[in-house]
Amino acid sequence: MAATIEDPLSIPQPFEEISHTADLIVGVEANSKEVAIARLVLALGQLLSGRKQLSPTERSRVRVEAGDLAVMAVDVLRELLYAFSTKGVIPCKCGVALFDEEAGGDLMVDTAPYDETSHQEGVDIKAVTFHRARFEECGDGRWEAEVTMDI
């Protein structure tokens, strides 16, 4: 599993909904930072659709500025949430060309259209926050990331 442009990840992918009183913390684990960011992207898709099966109809590139990986991860999700809010599209496949503190991020994201009827159990995510945002290598080659979403 590489989450590259040539071999992107598709939903469903594992993620954890970590308990938070009012909001939602999404946590992922992976064997590389590319898989970790792709899993965060696809967690967003699974939450927005109410974990329904999605068939991709459009493809777009998401590019974010270089910086702290946690900030970059939040920026990727912010961009995709904006696309959901304005175009009604939900991420369902993700390949990562670049995700690097020095060079920035460049992701290919396939999306499916939001359907009010079949996705009515989806989560209404207002925003992706920087609160306790975490994206780090754990020392044994594993990567962990956590992002809090305002709902």
Partner 1 sequence: MKLNIQRVGEYVFEIPKSGRMKVPGRIYLSSEQLEAMRHDPALEQVANVAHLPGIVGRSLAMPDIHWGYGFPIGGVAAVDAVDGGVSPGGVGFDINCGVRVITTRLVREEVAGRMPDLVNALFRAVPTGVGSGSGTGKLGKDELRRVLRDGALWATKKGFAAADDDVERCEENGSLRGADPSAVSQRALERGSTQLGSLGSGNHFLELQIVDQVIDEKRARAFGLFSGQMVLMIHSGSRGLGHQVCDEAVAGLARRLTSFGPDYAALPDRQLACAPLGSAEGRHYIGAMQAAANFAWANRQVMTGMAIDAIGKALGVGRDHIGARLLYDVCHNIAKYEEHLIDGKRRSVLVHRKGATRAFGPGDQRLPPAYRDVGQPVLIPGDMGRFSFVLAGTEMAMTETFGSSCHGAGRLMSRTAARKATRGRKIHEELLKAGITVMSKGRRTLAEEVSEAYKDVADVTKVVEGAGISKRVARLKPIGVIKG
Q: Of residues 2, 5, 98, 127, which one binds partner 1 by CB under 8 A?
A: 127
- The 3-state DSSP class for residue 14 equals coil
Alpha helix ranges (H) inside the chain: 33-49, 69-87
For partner 1, the closer CB: 19 or 55 = 19
Site for partner 1 contains 63 (CB under 8 A): no
Binding mask 72-111 for partner 1 (x = CB under 8 A): --xx--x---x-xxx-x-----------------------
Residue 119 structure tokens: 């996705």
Q: Of residues 59, 61, 126, 142, which one binds partner 1 by CB under 8 A?
A: 126
Q: Which residues of 69-83 are buried (b: 16+ CB within 10 A; e: fewer)?
A: bbebbbbbbbbbbeb
Residue 19 structure tokens: 């308990």
Binding mask 9-38 for partner 1 (x = CB under 8 A): --------x-xxxxxx--------------
